Structure 1
Amino acid sequence: MLLHDSRKVGTYDTEPERTRLQIQHISQWLKENPNVNANSDFGNLLFFLRSCKYDLERTKKKIKHFYQMRAERVEWFAYRDPFLPEIHELLKLGVFLPVDGVDSKNRKVVIIRAAAHDPKLHSQNNVFKVNQSKT
């Protein structure tokens, strides 16, 4: 099931066995809650777990809210083709600039240049699309 990907845990967590059990718990919770309709692959669940500092209840809440928002705000997640003129222009302007690698605490760093675009020309929905695809 998830065990073939569980070797990734060791590089991120000081308690890999505990993390594996937490991932299995979340996976089981997702099976029992099909209305959440979340991506249940190991890497995705590990991302949510890590972003919630390994707190199971916070992780479940965050997963639920993320996928609920994704279902309700289709305009932020659909048509994210970087070659669409309106998306390509925002990418060229460098509104979101991911920095290579991670910082000393293993976090991804992204420079956000909010004033780099003209809100009269670029819709907020397109800015959100670029934000969602920046990594």
Structure 2
Amino acid sequence: MPEIRPLSACLQRTAIEELNEDPDRLDADILALRTWLKQQAHIRSRSDDQFLVSFLRGCKFSLEKAKSKLDKYYTLRTQFPEFYTIRDVDNKRIHDILKLGVGLRLPIPLHDDGPRVIYVRPGCYPADKYTFEEIMAISNALNALSIQFDDHAVIHGYVVLLDFSDYTASHLLQMTPSVIKKMARFAEDAMPVRDKGTHMIHTNPAFEMSFNLLRSAMSAKQQERLSVHGSNLESLYEHIPQRYLPTHLGGEQGTIEELKESAWSTFVECQEYLREESNYGMDEKLRPGGRCNDYDSIFGVDGSFRKLNFD
């Protein structure tokens, strides 16, 4: 039997009906992916059952898709470590950013046993002190924890709630085309977690520019999952019932301070796991036939929006 967490009856049913999981074949499917990894001299990957089954589930048990996602996952993390990984989990600056609570995973999944809800506050950090790359490095490192430890996220996917309260032109100036492409490509190419929708609230003029840039870098499928509610929380409730929101938005998922404390506790508990992440990555010199993913040309050179005027 594979060494993975047992699923609740509801999650197991979803895995079978929506992700093509066959409990009788699970061991063989994981072994097939592990065998392939051992044959890839250029990939240094985690290979425990729980990690590999997350990629299989995220790819609906298509072995070829799981291979492709694993390759791109480690390619991006190796090529752009400052954006996709935490290189020093003991760094006080990293700890200070974490304690701001820019991205907070809500404890109760949507509808109690559905997608994980991630509450993101892109305007809550001082843009004159921290860069958006630093924010994303932490976000992507925490995504690695979701892959390994969050069965609801892996099986049902995630819903993102973006709250643009306090979002300013200074935050927008950090959203270069290259940064936006890095966000969109990682979500679509590398993450074995399904995007079940992004909802945006408390929007403002700075957001409008940011939204147009973000949408332009997304695939048509990603664009279809975007919803803008402005300050109309009643519209939001149609997608995320009120009780599944944080307390200050009328829900029952805890206060911001409680959510930040929970996020910090998770980070502390998983520090060793995150520290081990530096052992994994790509050695492109060993890739058969040379590099196959030229993300440098895709992302281009970071530009700037500093000449823009805001009313």
**Deviation (angstroms), 1:80:** 2.8
Separation in 2, partners of 1:32, 1:90: 39
- What are the ranges of 5 or more consecutive residues in structure 2 without an aligned counterpart? 17-21, 146-311
Q: Decide which of 38, 58, 82 is 1:51's aligned counterpart.
A: 58
**1:125 CA displacement:** 2.9
2:126 corresponds to 1:118: yes
Q: Which runs of 4+ in 1 moved over 6 A?
A: none
CA distance in structure 1 between the partners assigned to 2:135 and 2:81 by the alignment: 14
- CA distance in 2 between partners of 1:132 and 1:17 (Å): 33
Distance 1:91 1:100 in 2: 17
CA distance in 1, matches of 2:125, 2:4: 41
The secondary structure found in structure 2 opposite 1:110 is strand
The AA in structure 2 aligned to 1:73 is F
On the 8 A contact 1:86/1:122 being kept in 2, the answer is no
Q: CA deviation at 1:67?
A: 1.0
Q: How many residues align?
A: 131
C-alpha separation in 2, matches of 1:9 and 1:16 = 11
Q: For residues 58-85 of structure 1, give each alpha carbon's deviation from its aligned partner in whole angstroms, at most 9, with x where no partner exists.
A: 111110011112222233421133xx33
Q: C-alpha separation between the residues in 1 aligned to 2:94 and 2:4?
A: 36
1:89-114 deviation digits (Å, cap 9, x = unpaired): 32222101011143346433321111
* 2: CA distance, partners of 1:17 / 1:132: 33
Structure 2 residue 17 is the aligned partner of structure 1 residue 19 = no
Match of 2:89 in 1: 80
Q: Flag the structure with higher helix content.
A: 1
Larger radius of gyration: 2
Once the two structures are TM-superposed, the CA of residue 130 in structure 1 deviates from its matched residue by: 1.7
SS at match of 1:97: strand
Deviates more, 1:93-102 or 1:25-34: 93-102
Cα distance change on mapping 1:9 and 1:63 into 2, 3 Å:
farther
> Which residue does 1:127 correspond to in 2?
135
Q: Amino acid of the residue matched to residue 124 of structure 1?
A: F
Q: TM-score, normalised by structure 2?
A: 0.38
Aligned-partner residue type, residue 88 of structure 1: H
- Which of 104, 109, 121 in structure 2 is aligned with 1:102? 109
Q: Which residue of 2 aligns with 1:39?
A: 46
- What are the ranges of 5 or more consecutive residues in structure 1 without an aligned counterpart? none
Q: Which deviates more from structure 2 when the two are superposed, residues 3-12 or residues 30-39?
A: 3-12
Does the CA-based 8 Å contact 1:9-1:19 persist in structure 2? no
Say what the alpha-carbon RMSD is for the aligned residues: 2.4
The residue number in structure 1 matching 2:99 is: 92
